[in-house]
């Protein structure tokens, strides 16, 4: 099992749609979870951290299920500017050293 | 606030040649990372520095890759000799010591090995 697995995508959705991305991780000792966004030919940028109780930032909602080792990202009311690759990221060993494992990413394309 | 700086932005070399990349992290960031991102993949950590010490280099191919951060600020990553499979984007990132996953990435160096 890969350390971090994501939906392969691509997801092609119309503006205004709601889209959800899923991710699973293999190391039960992992303590920190994140979603990063990467635009085409650009560097990754932190979108949001994922907390056990779930958290929301505007149109974005992240959920964590530790028992299932499952992370999700929900985007409501999609905008053209949301088009990007979304990377699921997990801390490797449960420490605070920032040793991150990135998934392959799921590409989102929002169409007019 | 200035971001992470990297140079060069692009590099094309032939296999068996050497290449070096430079990174200047955000001021005050003690932790510096080098990642390799192959097309269609997520970034893979090569090496992590805390100040000028190596925290993790378990995924660095040490027979050909080397990195240093002599004064705890700038860092260089070198490949010698390069192979075709080294073609990738090399990303440098930095973070505050205790920020865990909140890393700031530079624009990367796109390396093509012919």
In contact, A14 and A59? CB cutoff 8 Å: no
- pLDDT (tens digit per residue) in A31-66: 889 999 999 999 999 999 998 888 999 999 999 999
Give chain A positions within 8 Å (CB) of B98.
96
Quick check: bond before B68 cis, omega within 30?
no
- pLDDT (tens digit per residue) in B36-94: 999 999 999 999 999 889 988 999 999 999 999 988 899 999 999 999 999 999 999 99
In contact, A60 and A20? CB cutoff 8 Å: no
Q: How far is CA A54 from the centre of its chain?
A: 13
Q: Per the CB < 8 Å rule, is B100 touching A97?
A: yes
B25/A contact by beta carbon, under 8 A: no
H-state helical runs in B1-114: none
């Amino acid at each position: 099992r890969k350390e971090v697995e994501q939906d392969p995508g691509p997801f092609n959705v119309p503006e205004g749609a709601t889209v959800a991305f899923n991710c699973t991780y293999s190391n039960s000792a992992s303590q920190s979870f994140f979603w990063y966004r990467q635009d085409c030919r650009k560097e990754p940028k932190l979108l949001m951290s994922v907390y056990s109780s779930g958290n929301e930032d505007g149109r974005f909602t992240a959920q964590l299920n530790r028992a299932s080792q499952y992370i999700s990202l929900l985007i409501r009311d999609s905008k053209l500017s949301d088009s990007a690759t979304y990377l699921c990221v997990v801390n490797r060993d449960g420490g605070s050293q920032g040793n991150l494992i990135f998934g392959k990413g799921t590409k989102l394309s929002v169409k007019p | 606030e200035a971001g992470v700086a990297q140079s060069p932005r692009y590099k094309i070399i032939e296999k068996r040649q050497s290449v070096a990349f430079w990174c200047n992290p955000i001021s005050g960031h003690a932790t510096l990372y080098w990642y390799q991102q192959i097309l269609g993949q997520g970034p893979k950590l090569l090496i992590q520095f805390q100040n000028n010490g190596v925290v993790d280099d378990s995924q660095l191919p040490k027979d050909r890759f080397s990195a240093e951060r002599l004064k705890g600020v700038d860092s260089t990553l070198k490949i010698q000799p390069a192979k075709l499979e080294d073609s990738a984007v090399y990303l440098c990132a930095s973070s505050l010591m205790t920020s865990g996953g909140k890393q700031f990435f530079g624009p990367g160096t796109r390396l093509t090995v012919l």
